[in-house]
Structures are given as structure tokens and as C-alpha cells.
Amino acid sequence: MATGGPGGTMSIHALHDDHGRTVRYLRLSLTDRCNLRCLYCHSNARHQCIPHEKVLRYEEMIRLVQIVRGMGVGKVRLTGGEPFARKGCDDFLLRLRQRFDDLDIRITTNGTLLEEHIPLLQRIRISAVNLSLDSFDRETFARVTGRDMLPEVLRALDAMLAAGIRVKINAVGLRGINDGQLADFVHAAMTLPVDVRFIEFMPMGSDTLWSPENFWPASDIRAAVEQHVRLVPLGDANEGQRGPARMFALEGGKGRMGFITPLTNHFCLSCNRLRLTSDGHLRTCLFADREYPLRPLLRHPKVTDEHIARVIAQACKSKPVGADLLAAR
């Protein structure tokens, strides 16, 4: 493969690290801005928006995708902030698809602004939409997110299913907040063709609201779910154990349920991700503070794609094992 960019072509470097892992997946934050204020999200606590001039332009993001595409990354997830809160998001998605016909494109969204974008998501053959939805109860939704917008999210959910888009609902398990509402989540997974996945509340950042009182371990969530429905483990052949979620079919149900256990049973040794912040900092691990500033390289007229690729490869090489960092805190 050869790429353009200022002054150079480049050969393929696969992104291997010192723990035998190969990076194939980029999480790209389109913006740090969000229209919700979820109580578990540490970015709310430090909510000083990144000035516009520091946010990567869409063409810079496309250049970066092109560089990592040449290094074996086949899957890109757009996230934020709230990706649909950034102007021009649809046009960017379209350009991404036009440029990379075989790229696995996914998006993570709170769903509040989603409905009008669904035809475009269909058009670009989005692989799946991860919908963050921590409660089907309007009051609890407003308490968790700071906004009374559950009806908008449920409308978008219905519209996605009608459009045949694959949906994964992600709920952060919060003891004392949504732990009394499992029946709603089980009902969704029974009646809709969706994956409903619980994520353990992670202590992110120094200003986190995380505490042992509101931490709800996935083993407890699973036991509570099993009060409602029989869970049938899915093997690898069903994509049950690929990725961070342990997935289950539901006896008699249309959907599936799963558990993501970053704290009680980490999956760091199979982590294949890189993250890029909206202001162009590369992060190789969610739990590591170390960032590699790529924006100055992208904006320097003499820096080639090859040079940026080398910086990314070097950063990946020392990708840490996040669980070790957490344990040392």
C-alpha cells in the first residue's frame, strides 16, 4: 500500500506491541462536546471545551484514518463527546465511506440527536451503532444524563431497528441508580433484536464519582438478570466471546445480553485499540495518562505520512496493560 500526504509514500507497518498484541481498531473522538452531563462521565467534571482551532479538522481525521488503515487498522469507531453534536458529521461519515470502501465503521452515541441521521447511517453501511442508554425510566434517565430526553432516544432506537441497523445498547451498571430496573433491560433484549450490554462503572479521572457503594460488579448484575431469564452462553462461533463483552442468548428472546468487565475481569491482554482525542492526541490505553500529540505533526507542512506512521508505530509498541496501571493506583 502507498499513501499520499505531504511528500511521501509509505509501506505497511503492522501495529504490534511488546505484549504480543496487534492494534486493528481506532476509536476516534469527533468532538469533546456533549449535550448530556452523564454523572459517570469524567469529561463533564473538567468541562472546559477544547478551542475550535485545536480540534482536528475532518480532513485531518481522514488523513489519520488513511495512515492507520495502511497499518492494518480495519475498524474505526466514532465517538466523543457526542459525535452528532459536531457540525458536518454526516458529510464526514459520507467521505469516510467514499474513501474507505471496506472499512468497518461504527459509532457510539447517546442517541438524543440521532434520529435525523439514520438514513445516512444506512447509506454508509454502518456496521453497528452503540447506543448508550442507562435507563428506560424517564426520571432515572434524566437523573443520570442531566436531560429529559429519553423519548428522543427511544424514537431513534425504533427507527434504527426499522432501518435494519444493528444496535448494541450499552448501560453502565450503577448500584442505587439503575439496579432496580433490570426487568426493563431484559424486556428489551427479549423483545427486540438488540444486544444489551452492561458495563461496569469505571473510576476514570481523579474527580470520579466512583465509589464502592455505587459500583455494581458484572457478576452481581448477571446473577440478578438470571432471576428474570435463563442466559445461554454463546461460543466463539457466535461472536459471543470476541471483543470485550461476554455475550449470552436469552431463552425465547430475540436479542442477547452481555457483560463488559473492565474492573473485575479485565480484557487488556486482548486489547487491540488505539484512541484519538478530538484535539489529535493519540492514546494507547484508556487507563494510561500518556498521550502522543499528533496534531502538530498533521499540521506541519513537511511532516510526511511515513513519519506520522512511525510515531504511531512507536507509541503502539509500548502500549501498556491498563489493568496493571489500575492496580498500581
Residues of this chain that interact with ligand SAM (CB under 6 A) are 34, 40-41, 79-80, 82, 108-110, 132, 170, 172, 199, 201-202, 204
Cβ pair 2, 10 in contact under 8 A: yes
Q: Which residue is nearest to ligand SAM (CB)?
A: 132
Rounded least distance, CB 310 to ligand SAM, Å: 30
Nearer to ligand SAM, 71 or 129 (CB): 129
Cα–Cα dist 140/142, whole Å: 5
Rounded least distance, CB 123 to ligand SAM, Å: 21
Length of the chain, in residues: 329
Nearer to ligand SAM, 110 or 135 (CB): 110
Q: What is the 3-state secondary structure (H, E, C) of 265-311?
A: CCCHHHCCEEEECCCCEEECCCCCCCCEECHHHHHCCCCCHHHHHHH
Rounded least distance, CB 279 to ligand SAM, Å: 15
Rounded least distance, CB 37 to ligand SAM, Å: 11
Rounded least distance, CB 142 to ligand SAM, Å: 15
- Give the cell for residue 232: 445461554
Nearer to ligand SAM, 101 or 207 (CB): 207
User: Which among 62, 78, 160, 154 is positioned nearest to 117, based on CA atoms?
Assistant: 160
Nearer to ligand SAM, 5 or 80 (CB): 80
Nearer to ligand SAM, 40 or 307 (CB): 40
Rounded least distance, CB 237 to ligand SAM, Å: 27
User: Which among 225, 107, 115 is positioned nearest to 167, based on CA atoms?
Assistant: 107
Cβ pair 166, 128 in contact under 8 A: yes
Nearer to ligand SAM, 161 or 204 (CB): 204
Cα–Cα dist 255/253, whole Å: 6
